[in-house]
Amino acid sequence: MRAGWTRRTWLGMALAAGLVAPAAPEAAEPLHAVATIGMVGDVVRNVGGERVEVTTLMGEGVDPHLYKTTRTDIARMLQADIVFYNGLMLEGKMTDALVRVAGAGRRVHAVTELLPESFLLEPPEFAGAFDPHVWMDPTAWTRSVEVIRDKLVEADPEGAEAYRAAAEAYAAELQRLDAYAEEVLASVPEERRVLVTAHDAFNYFGRRYGFRVEGIQGLSTDSEAGLRRIEELVDLLVELEIPAVFIESTIPVQTVQALVAGAAARGHEVVIGGSLFSDAMGAPGSYEGTYVGMIDHNVTVIARALGGSTPERGLNGQLAMRE
């Protein structure tokens, strides 16, 4: 068995070891679901509809790589009927809490469990571990819809028809989002399809849409960017005449500003093309606070800053576009 597969599955095996499925709730009560991150919570909300009440533990601007579980989080999970998390070690610091909750009889599921190992990216610097940012590829995130649908059906069989219909409709919405991303990103001149960001959260995005992706930090933000890496990226920006770099909503802006200054010192003008959503979505209640809005924002901002052609306010005409 490969090391990568072991790292991916050990948590699931630990959870399963103590898992005792609770009885389905009475029809009059909604199913109480907890999601670790916003992207997962949004899928649960779309598939669950009125039958599911969703609580998300990590909100706007929160970095899941560094997040530590609070007592309130544990209480919410213990009181829930079902808990969904991303998996692939994204929520690494929550491992003990998830095991504890599963051992207490809660249903606990990783939404990435249907993705085959052959699909997952395993960067050289993270040998034995997979890149967890699979939501950056809408075609991959559709598999999370299937997981959530099936687990909700198991927990609440009476809602099976509603869950399946909602999942089908939401999957179609993600297909439309993916088609939009392909179209507008293809309008970026080929020589400019280089995405430079604060950390490596966009590798699945790059593979799906044909972009070279370079991050200042590695997959996890639990490290500091070195001077050598900054110099390497400045060389790249100057050599390829890349016009823009991007900040992220969960990462301090200083390292990206260092790239802009470094390029300027070499006689090449680089601008900050906008702020991208990487490990968290936008403000609750906003369009960017949904998964579709998050990806729509990223795609539209990236394409526009690198010379592509986009609608003024994105796929659905709802983007704030304050960049």
Q: Considering the entire predicted model, what is its pTM?
A: 0.87
Is residue 12 very low, low, confident or very high in pLDDT (cuts 50, 70, 90)?
Answer: low
Q: What is the pLDDT of residue 219?
A: 45
The yes-or-no verdict on residue 7 having pLDDT over 60 is no
Q: How many domains, the chain?
A: 2
Q: What is the pLDDT of residues 142-160, one digit of tens each?
A: 999 999 999 999 999 999 9
Judge if 26 and 39 occupy the same domain: yes
Is there a single domain that holds both residue 44 and residue 122?
yes
CATH number of the domain that residue 120 is part of: 3.40.50.1980
**Predicted pLDDT at 199:** 75
Range of the domain at 286: 182-305
70 and 121 together in one domain: yes
One domain for residues 88 and 123: yes
Q: What is the distance between the alpha carbons of residues 118 and 102, in angstroms, rounded to a whole number?
A: 28
Alpha-carbon span 161 to 169, nearest angstrom: 12
For residue 311, being part of any structural domain is answered with no
Residue 279, pLDDT > 50, answer yes
Question: Which range (91-100, 113-122, 192-201, 219-228) has the least confidence?
Answer: 219-228
SS3 of residue 247 by DSSP: strand
- Mean pLDDT of the region 230-243: 93
113: left (phi over 0), alpha (psi -120 to 50) or beta: alpha
* Cα angle: 38, vertex 43, 46; to 5 degrees: 120
Q: Is residue 166 a part of any domain in this protein?
A: yes
Q: 242 and 269 share a domain?
A: yes
Least confident of 103-112, 116-125, 156-165, 169-178: 116-125
Query: 106 with 213, same domain?
Result: no
Last residue of a domain, one of 179, 212, 227: 179
Of 116-130, 213-227, 287-301, the least confident: 213-227
Based on the domain organization, do 93 and 144 belong to the same domain?
yes
Q: Residue 82's closest CA among 166, 153, 146, 158?
A: 153
Q: How far is CA 67 from CA 19, 58, 76, 122, 267, in A?
A: 24, 8, 16, 22, 40
Q: Is the pLDDT of residue 4 over 50?
A: no
Q: What is the pLDDT of residues 53-76, one digit of tens each?
A: 999 999 888 888 889 999 999 999
99 and 154 in a single domain? The answer is yes
